[in-house]
Structure 1
């Protein structure tokens, strides 16, 4: 698999991108992270530049994103659609509602970084353009249950950044192909031999590279001036792959294992996971109530 630095690949795509400082500013509001020691860092803001450039280049009509998070990727893709006059929609899936307040590291209006409790829509209304937000269709739920009832136009671009375990990545990949048009481009986040990326690495090795050429784009803090600009890690990055014959790709993969039992089993696992989450939330609420009462 070819390995390329993010700036080199964006240059290769040949599209004009906005000022890098604008991506950093948007990232400070929607992608900032905090370490265990309390220090803040800009975590892979470069993915937004890459997504913007890929959308501008390939001009997709229907984008499917697994893992909205705080929305940096969604906003960057919608930004590209707006700038290049692309009449498209980004369907983005997350188990957290756009109106639910979550723990949110942020730098706002030049202030010092802090951790607040904010919702996506609260922040998006503040930092996003209306023409961006209007291009985003937020879908709440786990990917299996959401995609079971997905009945929209064929997908021609996907960003897979949801669950990072192998089973979750495989589900999101297979269900993308099952809902894609003839031509599809897929960007996988978090390709690595570390625990957080080994699911993607395993999938790419089994079901991408045997059939198609792919590129490993090294992104995280590797733009000009980034702390990792000159560090080469051939096994870490984001993987881009595209095909003009998704049906053939799907047939080749289905010859290796049966989709129906896998998808059924995955949805059963999701139901179990959903019950665990509700139970955990109930227990935390009960403990909090008891502490306040004592």
Structure 2
């Protein structure tokens, strides 16, 4: 639906307690939407509801996106209260970074459960409802799935994360082609490094998120979540299928599509650089831990 007006729309944002999710909640409320801020961390969700400002409204719910029944219950509750659900933001996600041989099966299961099944649960709960809402040529709703540049390009030392985000991109683009004739829009969001707590989480072994996403890639400043949220709403309003942000990320993506072999060679070199940085960081930490040496 081109030119979508968000005023009065009913929305759910998973992972709304912080980062991109919290920024999306603020942007939606500012645009007049009524938002369910869903997060596993109930206190964080409530903080988001207290901070958002605008003509819209926000209420917090505790939600584990790996629980399909719980996701369905949140969707059903919105419909029971408001009569419909207009916007489903499957945003909740986690990151894992490190050498693949250091990942345990528990690591793999946890990231698959949140990043893939969490999105699937949101789609399974919202999409059939939106299809029903779109019967007769009406607008049924819009689903927004948060992926990553890691869902468009393969980066070493992030194998599990890259795998899950590629799955989200594939699901989103395939679902978009189905939903178009049924009044349901789908947008997948693929940002590069965004200034959120995820940059400091999910390290395995020597992996260091900020070194990887910022220093290693030569990014001086990560993308601002508030700016990204505005870009997401603009993309949804225009009915765009994919949003790659910021502009430098779009250039990188274009180069990757035009010169895949060159991009792969650069990726191998990037991993080597990262390993050298990690080794130097570990050596410095060991030196500091040992304290001053006596002569």
TM-score, reference length from structure 1: 0.33
Higher strand content, 1 or 2 = 1
Computing the radius of gyration from Cα coordinates, the structure with the larger value is 2
TM-score, reference length from structure 2: 0.33
Higher helix content, 1 or 2 = 2
